[in-house]
Structure 1
Amino acid sequence: MNEMSVTQEPRLTSLAHGGGCGCKIAPGVLADILRGGSPLPVPPELLVGIETSDDAAVYLINDRQALVATTDFFMPVVDDPGDFGRIAATNAISDVYAMGGTPIFALALVGMPVSRISTATIARILDGGAAVCRAAAIPIAGGHTIDSVEPIYGLVVVGLVDPAHLKRNSDARPG
């Protein structure tokens, strides 16, 4: 299947059961799932964790620097492979910016049904994501790949923020 022609390949969106971002677990269901687990220790250096539904976690390194880390991936929301890669990468990188941070590197998260999508199409998805990372001047320093039933692509993005300039959902005000 790796050398199949583009005309034989299915549309990317036909391989995603929930329409890409529509596959998220509903917030109420997620809260129920998380409530059932054992509580984990929360160190004082963890400035932002899961409790506020922010876009990223933030961990204090020192008085002037904190690490911003986010994971974001989804199934195809468009059929063009390059566009899918660009959209997914932009979405992940923007989480660091939303926290007031500056991204410094990314790790790719790739799951593809390799028996249904050609390696050339998968490469176009990754190239789209890489183009966004190049434009943001950050390297893709590694990642993880799996052969999956449905295509998923995204990034782990790590950045830095001055704690004094950290932006949280809880700090948002109307106007």
Structure 2
Amino acid sequence: MTTTDLPATVRLTQYAHGGGCACKIPPGELEEMVADLAPPPGEDLVVGVGDDAAVVRVRGGLAVIATADFFTPVVDDAYTFGRIAATNALSDVYAMGGTPLVAVNLLGWPREVLPPELAREVLRGGADAAAAAGCHLGGGHSIDDPEPKYGMAVTGTGDPERLLRNDAAVAGVPITLTKPLGLGVLNNRHKSTGEVFEEAVAVMTTLNAASSQAALAAGARCATDVTGFGLLGHLHEIARASGVTAVVDAAAVPYVDGARESLAAGFVPGGSRRNLEWVRPTLDADGVDEDELVLLADAQTSGGLLVAGEVPGYPVVGEFTPARGGVTVAVR
């Protein structure tokens, strides 16, 4: 069966209860789940729980970066879903300042419901994303699953002394965002209506390789990628871990075309609202419209990098300031 022979009526998003990174376990619940389960970082385990990937020092200037990421379909097209999921998994290595070396597939498939040809298209999309990253792809693991799921476990390398960590922000530096927001509400609209948003797809399939390299070249030492916890959630994590406050200039934050209109039409993932409720106890946003806050908390899939420092060519959306009491994030 060729690609053109695949069923045109199959909408992958209808076979999953959530979509993309919006289907993550809520951040507060996840923190309670993993509390005290992992040993603290040491001489060789440079980064453990709490960042985008684990980092182990091998020798001198060489470290191994390991991560895994998978989720349910965020778009209906199988090939595009594979590309997005793989791009998202590779992003965790870039978010640490590393280079992906080898990946293996993680596939869950309802084999009695969806044809294997569609699964092949998902895997083909993942393979193309890995090839674009110059990352080897070597097999993986699959299971029979009630919902389609796909992602990758990725191993990369980096310099343990030049990592991009989420606990290294300092007061007085700007906040840079390398991709626009709004992917969550647009993906939710796609799931509900079948409308395709080409700009959103282009954003989600763009590797964070160039922005990671640019951040390192600019001297940055703190970054994360913006995924399921939204901009506010990931800023909250950085600020809390670094002992600073993140101040966001809401007017400076870029959005994918159609995001605001989709929010106004009610297409908001449950994960986005959960993100906002998670950060609200330490959020200073007096006078800021609730819809604006929902967009800032919107659960992204394969979003950009959030960097402590100015990265040429990308918009500055705020700054880190000295800690303000119990406030981790302020929106102006």
Q: TM-score, normalised by structure 1?
A: 0.89
Q: Deviations over 1:111-148 (max 9, x none)?
A: 01011111111100000000011111222112110000
**SS of corresponding position for 1:164:** coil
Could you tell me whether the CA contact under 8 Å between 2:38 and 2:48 is conserved in 1?
Answer: no
Query: Where in structure 1 are there 5+ consecutive unaligned residues?
Result: none
Tell me by how many angstroms 1:58 deviates. Answer: 0.4
State the partner residue of 2:132: 135
Give CA deviations for 1:22-69 in whole Å, capped at 9, x if unaligned.
21111111122123x65547543111111xx31111001111100001
Q: Secondary structure at 2:88's aligned position in 1? A: helix
- CA spacing shift, 1:87–1:39, aligned 2, 3 Å: closer
Q: Paired residue for 1:156, among 138, 143, 153?
A: 153
By how many angstroms is 1:6 displaced? 0.8
Give 1 or 2: higher strand fraction: 1
User: In the alignment, does 2:122 pair up with 1:125?
Assistant: yes
Which stretch shows the higher mean deviation, 23-32 or 150-159? 23-32
- Contact kept, 8 Å, 1:72 with 1:91, in 2: the verdict is yes
Identity %: 48
Partner of 1:48: 47
Which one-letter code corresponds to 2:93 in the other structure? V
Three-state SS of the structure 2 residue aligned to 1:129 is: helix
Distance 1:143 1:33 in 2: 27
- Output the CA distance in 1 between the equivalents of 2:34 and 2:42: 19
Amino acid at match of 2:57: L
- Contact 1:92/1:155 (<8 A) preserved: yes
Secondary structure in structure 1 of the residue aligned to 2:167: helix
1:109 aligned partner: 106
| Superposed structure 1 runs of 4+ greater than 3 Å apart | 37-43
Distance in 1, matches of 2:125 and 2:63, equals: 29
Computing the radius of gyration from Cα coordinates, the structure with the larger value is 2
Letter in 2 for 1:6: P
The whole-number CA distance in structure 2 between the counterparts of 1:100 and 1:38 is 26
Distance verdict in 2 for CA 1:41–1:47, change over 3 Å: closer
Q: How many residues align?
A: 168
| Aligned residue type for 2:96 | M
Instruction: Check the 8 A contact 1:13/1:20 in 2, yes or no.
Output: no
